[in-house]
């Protein structure tokens, strides 16, 4: 993309923290996250919106951050891999990937986990087929996917259990 140097002001909440920045309109969200904000967990694996390594959540929806302009997230909330763990405790999806060997080189992993996160928000107990379809926009070259599916199943089970526990009133 070519562009002039005119800049636009944006205010974005990323992983719960508010950021103000002046950016070129053509700046991609992924570059804004990685280079302006210095959060390098979100990766770039292609330039045709196919690989999903850059997947983040914008207002709760999974998007490919290489296919969104930073200016489009003005006033929105962004969640990246760095925002998954809370208070030093891993998110069940992170636990699942670790427990079930859902990663090898780790490059697709953040995007894969964010896609899984979005999937489980919509569908808390997906079938294997639904998981496979749910991550079909995320390419992995190392794992052959079986262990990624198991990782997401692990996370789904764990999240369901946590939910049930919350429903049981404390005695």
Partner 1 sequence: MKGGDDAKVLAGGQSLIPLLKLRLASPTRLVDINGIPGLEYIRESGGYLRMGALTRMADLEASDLIMKRYPIIHDASVEIADPTVRNLGTVGGNISHGDPANDLPAIMLALEAEFVAEGGSGSRTMKAEGFFVDTFTTALNHNEILTEIRVPMASPRSGGSYLKLEKRIGDFAIAGSAVQLSLNSRGECERLGVGLTAVGPTAIKAKKAEEALKGKKLTDEGAIRRVGELAAEAASPTTDLRGPADYKKEMVKVLTIRSLKRAYQRAQRGGM
Partner 2 sequence: MGHGVKRKEDPRFIQGKGNYVDDVKLPGMLFLDFVRSPYAHARIKSINADKAKALPGVVAVLTGKDLVPLGLDWIPTLSSDKMMVLPTEKVVFQMQEVVGIVAEDRYTAADAVSLVEVEYEPLPAVTNPMKALEPGAPIVRPDKGTNHVFHWEVGDKAATEKLFSGADVVVKQELYYPRIHVSYMETAGCVADFDQVRGHLTLWMTTQAPHAVRTVAALVTKIPENNIRIISPDIGGGFGGKVYVYPGYIVAAVASIVTGHPVKWINDRSDDQPSTAFGRDWHMTAELAAKKDGTMLGVRIKTVSDHGAFFGDANPSKFPAGLFSICTGSYDLKGGFAEVDGAYTNKPLGGITYRCSFRVTEAVYAIERMVDVLAYKIGMDPTDLRMKNFIPSNKFPYKSIFGWTYDSGNYTAALKKAMDKIGYWDLRKEQAEKRKKGELMGIGVSSFTEIVGAGPSAQFDILGIKMFDSAEIRIHPTGKAIARFGTKSQGQGHETTYAQIIAEELGLPIEDITVEEGDTDTAPYGLGTYASRSTPTAGAAAAMASRKIRDKARKLAAHLLEAREEDLVWERGKFYVKGSPERAKTIQDIAFAAYTNHPPGVEAGLEAVDYYDPPNMTFPFGSYICVVDIDRGTGQPKVRRFVAVDDCGNIINPLIVEGQIHGALAMGFGTSFLEEIKYDEDGNVFGANFMDYLIPTAVETPKWETEKTTTPSPHHPFGAKGVGESATVGSPAAFVNAVVDALSQGGIPHIDMPLSPWKIWNALKEKGLAMEA
Q: Which residues bind partner 1 (CB under 8 A)?
A: 1-2, 25-26, 28, 47-50, 52, 55, 61-64, 66-69, 71-72, 115, 118-119, 133-134, 136-138
Give the residue from 143, 144, 123 showing the smallest Cα distance to 134: 123
**Cα distances (Å, whole numbers) of residue 87 to 82, 83, 91, 111, 153:** 12, 10, 10, 21, 24
Enter the tokens of residue 146: 């079986």
Interface with partner 2 (CB under 8 A), residue from 14, 41, 63, 69: 41
- Residues 65, 158: Cα–Cα separation, whole Å: 28
Task: Name the E strands within 49-104.
Answer: 55-58, 61-64, 77-79
Nearer to partner 2 by C-beta: 75 or 106? 106
Residue 69 binds which entry of partner 1, partner 2, none, with Cβ cut-offs from 5 to 8 Å by kind?
partner 1
Residue 68 binds which entry of partner 2, partner 1, none, with Cβ cut-offs from 5 to 8 Å by kind?
partner 1
- Residues 117, 119: Cα–Cα separation, whole Å: 5
Nearer to partner 2 by C-beta: 48 or 170? 48
Instruction: Annotate each residue in 75-114 with x if it binds partner 2 (CB under 8 A) or - if it does not, as one string.
Output: -----xxx-xx----x---x--xxx-x-xxxxxxxx--x-
């Amino acid at each position: 993309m070519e562009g002039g140097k005119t800049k636009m002001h944006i205010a974005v909440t990323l992983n719960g923290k508010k950021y103000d920045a002046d950016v070129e309109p053509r700046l991609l969200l992924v570059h804004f996250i990685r280079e302006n904000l210095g959060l390098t967990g979100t990766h770039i694996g292609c330039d045709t919106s196919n690989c999903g390594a850059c997947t983040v959540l914008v207002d709760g929806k999974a998007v490919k951050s290489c296919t969104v302009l930073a200016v489009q997230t003005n006033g929105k909330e962004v969640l990246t891999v760095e925002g998954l763990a809370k208070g030093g405790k891993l998110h069940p999806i992170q636990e699942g990937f670790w427990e079930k060997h859902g990663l090898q080189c780790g490059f697709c992993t953040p995007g894969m986990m964010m896609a899984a996160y979005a999937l489980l928000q919509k569908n808390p107990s997906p079938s294997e087929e639904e998981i496979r379809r749910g991550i079909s926009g995320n390419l992995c070259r190392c794992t052959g996917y079986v262990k990624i599916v198991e990782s997401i199943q692990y996370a789904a089970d764990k999240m369901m259990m946590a939910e049930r526990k919350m429903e049981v009133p404390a005695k």
